Chains A and B, each alone.
Chain A
Amino acid sequence: MSNDAATAVPAADGPRPEEQPPTHGIGASLPAADARAKAEGTFPYAADLWAEGLLWAALLRSPHAHARIVSVDTSAAAALPGVRAVVTAADVPGDAAYGRKVADRPVFASGLVRHHGEAIAAVAADHPDTARLAAAAIHVEYEPLEPVTDPEQAFSAEPLHPDGNLIRHIPLSYGDPEVTGEVVVEGLYRIGRQDPAPIGAEAGLAVPRPDGGVEIYTASTDPHTDRNLAAACYGLEPERVKIVVTGVPGATGDREDPGFQIPLGLLALRTGCPVKLAATREESFLGHAHRHPTLLRYRHHADAEGRLVKVEAQILLDAGAYADDSSESLAAAVAFACGPYVVPHAFIEGWAVRTNNPPSGHVRGEGAMQVCAAYEGQMDKLAARLAMDPAELRLRNVLATGDILPTGQTVTCPAPVAELLRAVRDFPLPALPKDGPEEDWLLPGGPEGAGEPGAVRRGVGYALGMVHMLGAEGADEVSTATVRVHDGVATVLCAAVETGQGFTTLARQIVQEVLGVEEVHVAPVDTDQPPAGPAAHGRHTWVSGGAVERAAKMVRTQLLQPLAHQFGMSTELLQIADGKITSYDGVLSTTVMEALDGKELWATAQCRPHPTEPLDGAGQGDAFVGLAFCAVRAVVDVDIEIGSVRVVEMAVAQDVGRVLNPAQLATRIEAGVTQGVGAALTENLRTARGLVRRPDLTGYALPTALDAPDIRIVKLVEERDVVAPFGAKAASAVPVVTSPAAVAAAVRAATGRPVNRLPIRPQAAVAAPARS
């Protein structure tokens, strides 16, 4: 339209009529691009993939928690009509074992079975039923062994693994061990086994490549690591294995355990055919990693005014049979064992040990969630002992910027803990049901339950939690992103997996903000792109978001340079908004399309935050890049005769640095709180002598809409973290960490019982009725 690009239209960019919420760019509640497809059921997940002539895979899993494998006879299975390949440990061409930190987990168990559900063999056949029948027809002779299921026994038990039973030991020592406080409280806490329970169970499709490699289509959250692990097991160069990330049906831990992908690709290489594997819910529960069940023993010393003097703790993580991410979980548990409180003297000893229980690994907030439940239990005990208000006691001890963690690391990021706690404390309490109409009451036990108003007690509890962001202890946290602009449309290429955390939406907003381009697409992820690291610890918001911003800024410079040159001003004096480029003085005004002039602009950039260091022999070191904090006030109703609990309301105040997408942030916090409520009340994968009992969603009760409380986001503290891109902190993990402790505190307040075990069992929430 405008052939005079430099026509001055200064008024168009004057102060806006205010205060419309932005519709694009940073700060807008941009909806996810795939939301509609997901709601309509047309979004393709890995379980929906299909290839011509595909075979179906099935895994044979161990029915024992600990057994010696005497022999494996696959002849009957291989002879079944329709069976195309049967593979066992003997058929793994490369490394026999894999692992994220330590390669200690065999692809297929051969000599020993170390946990219930460990894979022993895999079958490919032309029908899923045939594959399952063939897997069942494999004859394995076991010699059952006594399982080690009590982590306390792991120290003295026979080694379950050549590496020994102790995966890591951190004896943190900070301050003076001789100091004692006037008041001492002790407690023993047990945290159960939460399962990530993704809504979509594991699924994948492996397609052999003509060059002898293989492509695996699956919902990996860390595609490059998974590719490297798989390639090593196949004895191939990493370039010949490609992982293509498909739609992720929910991830709060590591999606798609390699123990599932590696056999899949192996079968494809073996048969030369595409092979598909879709796990049943039971297999999903048996195969992937769970939250570490943890045993914690605490002793808190305080002075008469309630100020903490010393914390002593022993923390024992049950890692299951293999190391996985346990060493990092233990570091988080030990480092945050005192919580967001100032503690002058701390002596924390942590162990992660092997058992024959189901495997443990990364589930968001790992380590930090277990200790939060324990140290907050201690704070409640201390408040009761000193007859102080629990919120007031916490306020006397809260951490702030400039304080020192027990690891010796100074808190340099914003730490508005007191502000968060005051916000939830001062938020009005929800009304009691008696003030509303009786038919609207929702008592513990549900709408058709047995709840009796006379037996219901209400309790209010507080908890403060903290997590670290990004990988800790010297992990190289780097991400690479490419931004391309052509024809007024921008494309982002980055191997950061959209797991539901909202990265693709943030990437679109970042590019909109920097380049003023409305239409931004985020390309699908595969391992031909440069690595972006695992989708964990909020790293993609930070590191990949930072890489996208840098790449976009480089494109911006390329775009503006010719204009700036033409008008003799620097690019900083030009701004882009709504697809228009204007100069600071309004002399220049053109559109992005005009400036592009048919050119295609590309830029690639990396983001690598400042390095961290491992914890040393005394648990000291600057191990974390960033910290995020949260305060939760839980209000619960407890039927004190039956012990049923309903969480009425969760009030959350969170330290978010900066809100990049308000609607998305709210959903992340609500999801985290709900997962925390599940961990507090119902979610526990139970085992008996190492065998998983009821691996289904009836036995493992996830919160439903009726179980989810009203979630009030009371305050979002926006103090920008100067080292983080945009100053934003990741938001998903810290509500998961804090919510279970808050629910436990509220049940304590309602019942007067100690509540030292999560999830809270009904018998622990039963109380003698007060005379009234």
Chain B
Amino acid sequence: MTTHAPRATQSVTLPATLDAAVAALTAMPAAVPVAGGTDLMAAVNRGQLRPAGLVGLGRVNEIRGWQYQDGHALLGAGLTHARMGRPDFAALIPALAAAARAAGPPQIRNAGTLGGNIVTGAPTGDALPVLAALEADLVVAGPGGTRELPVSHLLTGRELLGPAELVGFVRVPLLHAPQVFLKATGRTGPGRATASVAVVLDPARRGVRCAVGAIAPMPLRPLDAEHWIASLIDWDGDRGLAPEALTAFGEYVAAACVPDPPGDEQLPPAVLHLRRTVAALARRALGRALS
């Protein structure tokens, strides 16, 4: 007697359109959608996941590029990190391109996708703080048609993807202003972020938006620090800030994201260092965005 699972019972579907993918998932609720597979297949190899079926999204061409839509870019969820890292994309959304270039070794960047980064929602996902700072919206395709939700709702768990729902597109505003993504890792080679910061300028709304990644389960937005620093910037002038203001911004962001413990307790040295790192990253990121 053998317990070998006959491979044939594992169904793999390769739909060519988003609608077909939704239909395939509706038809087989136990199936798991897979795009780059950089997280999913690692879990399968470790024996932590045995999907009854897979719906491969690699042939859904409509989600592999991007289009423009009234001042926004509608990014396909199947965009790979490698594609987002290229100069033409970097001219459009510089911070997302920087995050894509920083995300792991080339093999991972060639396979891993924007949508996968969002749906996996790992704290160290490099695209996530950028999307949070950009206040991106997700266009979700499902059996009942499409709906939109802010990316932060999905990342914080305020709204979840329903059965057979797929992230099809990510709607990102085109701000035509500097954006910076910075990441601290434990080594020179590709590694997971110990902390990351995205800063985007929104001159039309006279706003600065900042998100800090990797230090909490989801990207953190230091809203008070954003409003305060935006109020200091001369939006009609050269947008410069004194070094002291940049330093204060960094401290403000760091204190908001790595709060003091209650009472007289001291932060442990490693956490204190994390706070210093966030402060340095936020200061550098804003400095580079304004320079």
Which A residues are closer than 8 A to B by beta carbons?
A: 81-82, 125-127, 129-130, 132, 280, 442, 444-450, 452, 455, 641-644, 646, 681-682, 698, 701, 703-707, 761-763, 766
Contacts and interface: CB of A to CB of B under 8 A. Distances in A.
Interface stretch (B72-80, B151-159, B277-285): B277-285
Nearest to A646: B188
Contact of A448 (B4, B101, B187, B270): B101
A449 B185 contact: yes
Interface stretch (B20-28, B132-140, B189-197, B230-238): B189-197
Contacts of B188: 442, 444-446, 449, 644, 646, 704, 706-707
B277 A642 contact: yes
B287 to A, nearest CB: 9
Interface residues on B, range: 20 to 34
A126 B2 contact: yes
Contacts of B190: 446, 704, 706
6 contacts: A446-B102, A446-B189, A446-B190, A682-B187, A707-B188, A763-B273
Contacts of A130: 3
Contacts of A701: 186-187, 191
Given A82-B1, A642-B184, 6 more contacts: A452-B284, A641-B277, A646-B188, A707-B188, A707-B189, A763-B273
Contacts of A127: 2-5
Contacts of B280: 450, 455, 641-642
Interface string B116-135: 00000000000000000000
A448 B98 contact: yes
B59 interface: no
Interface string B164-195: 00000000000000000011111111111010
Nearest to B271: A763
A642 B284 CA distance: 11
B205 interface: no
Nearest to B270: A763
Contact of B189 (A132, A452, A455, A703): A703
A682 B183 contact: no
B46 interface: yes
A127 B185 CA distance: 39
- For the complex of A and B, the 4 pairs showing the least CB-CB separation, nearest first, are A704-B189, A82-B3, A448-B102, A763-B273
B273 A766 contact: yes
A712 B186 CA distance: 25
Contacts of B102: 446, 448-449
Contacts of A703: 187, 189
A703 B183 CA distance: 18
B162 interface: no
A277 B2 CA distance: 18
A704 B187 contact: yes
Contacts of A763: 269-270, 272-273, 276
A762 B273 contact: yes
A450 B184 contact: yes
Nearest to A678: B187
A446 B187 CA distance: 7
Interface of B: 1-5, 46-47, 50, 98, 101-102, 105, 182-192, 194, 269-270, 272-273, 276-277, 280-281, 284
Contacts of B50: 129
B47 A129 contact: yes
Most A CB contacts (10 A, CB to CB) among B2, B101, B189 go to B189
B277 A682 contact: no
B186 A450 contact: no
Contacts of A444: 188
Contact of B46 (A280, A682, A762): A280
Contacts of B194: 762
Nearest to B85: A448
A766 B277 CA distance: 10
A762 B187 CA distance: 10
Contacts of A452: 284
A450 B183 contact: yes
Contacts of A646: 188
B47 A132 contact: yes
A641 B280 CA distance: 7
B187 A707 contact: yes
Contacts of A280: 46
Nearest to B189: A704
B186 A682 contact: yes
A127 B50 CA distance: 15
A643 B183 contact: no
A442 B60 CA distance: 38
Contacts of A707: 187-189
A455 to B, nearest CB: 8
A452 B250 CA distance: 15
Given A641-B276, A763-B272, A449 B46 contact: no
A717 B185 CA distance: 38
A450 B281 contact: yes
A280 B276 CA distance: 37
Nearest to B4: A127
Nearest to A454: B284
Contacts of B269: 763
Contact of A81 (B1, B105, B185, B272): B1
B38 to A, nearest CB: 12
B246 to A, nearest CB: 12
A288 to B, nearest CB: 19
Contacts of B273: 643, 761-763, 766
Given A280-B46, A763-B273, A449 B183 contact: yes
A280 B277 CA distance: 34
A698 B186 CA distance: 11
Nearest to A132: B47
B3 A125 contact: yes
A762 B186 contact: yes
A234 B280 CA distance: 60
Contacts of B185: 445-446, 449, 644
Contact of A450 (B192, B270, B284): B284
A449 B197 CA distance: 11
B196 to A, nearest CB: 8
Contacts of B105: 704
Nearest to A442: B188
Contacts of A705: 189
Nearest to B194: A762
Contacts of A643: 273, 277
A681 B190 CA distance: 15
B272 to A, nearest CB: 7
B184 A445 contact: yes
Contact of A126 (B3, B47, B98): B3
A706 B184 CA distance: 15
A447 B105 CA distance: 12
B97 to A, nearest CB: 10
A379 to B, nearest CB: 27
Nearest to B287: A452
